[in-house]
A = this chain, B = another copy of it.
Amino acid sequence: MAIIVDKEAKRRDIALSCRDLLQEHGIANLTIAQIAQTAGVGKGTIYEYFDNKEDIVFEIITTFLREDLEYLQQLVTLPLSTREKLFRFCTFRYENEQEGEKYRELFKEFLAISLISKEPAMLRFSQEARAAFRIILEQILDEGVAQGELEERFRGAAESLIIFSTGMVVESRLEGFDTQQELNTILDLFFPTPTQGNPS
């Protein structure tokens, strides 16, 4: 009979081949024609694997988030203070000067789409990603409490920190916003002995 392709795999392949393109142009300036050309397929083929333009962006972002998750998962295992881990958890998007800028831009665009999109798939995905991040954060907090670095009452602060991080991503679009300083201000609430400046 005919060839049967692995739809899921090809979807990922197309997404992967367009990562750079997306980072370079941004979502708004990315056309389906460009995507198709870069992926080396016809425009129609794109719609064989994706519902619409958002869906493509969505898939590409997923590849980034998977990497994020890997990074954060190994962060937990590093020999660092709880405060340092929390700090890195919340600022890892800002770590790399060069690549970080592009990545953050992309993440903002993703946030923008997911703010407006009412697609159930998009919402479900956001929720799953959040849950994964949250588990890691809770692990850091639990360890912090176990090691006496953190008061018991902060064990349930994972949600708050995630909300705060999200807020930081949005606010960082503004000139003069100092991510590290703002995060330290919050972390000072968590740790009895306030430390000014980046604790690293």
Q: What residues of chain A have their CB less than 8 Å away from a CB belonging to chain B?
A: 26-28, 108-109, 111-116, 123, 126-127, 130, 156-157, 159-160, 162-168, 170-171, 173-175, 182, 185-186, 189
Given contacts A182-B159, A182-B160, contact A170 B116 (CB under 8 A): no
With a CB–CB cut-off of 8 A, which chain B residues contact A109? 115-116
With a CB–CB cut-off of 8 A, which chain B residues contact A174? 123, 126-127, 130
Q: Kindly provide the distance from the CB of A129 to the nearest chain B CB, expressed in whole angstroms.
A: 11
B164 touches A164 (CB 8 A): yes
* Chain copies in complex: 2
With a CB–CB cut-off of 8 A, which chain B residues contact A175? 123, 127
A168 touches B173 (CB 8 A): no
A170 touches B115 (CB 8 A): yes
Given contacts A159-B182, A185-B156, A189-B189, contact A166 B171 (CB under 8 A): yes
Complexed CA–CA distance, A167 and B172 (Å) = 12
18 contacts between A and B (CB under 8 A): A27-B116, A28-B116, A108-B116, A109-B115, A109-B116, A111-B115, A112-B112, A115-B115, A123-B174, A126-B173, A156-B185, A159-B182, A160-B186, A162-B171, A163-B164, A163-B182, A164-B167, A167-B168
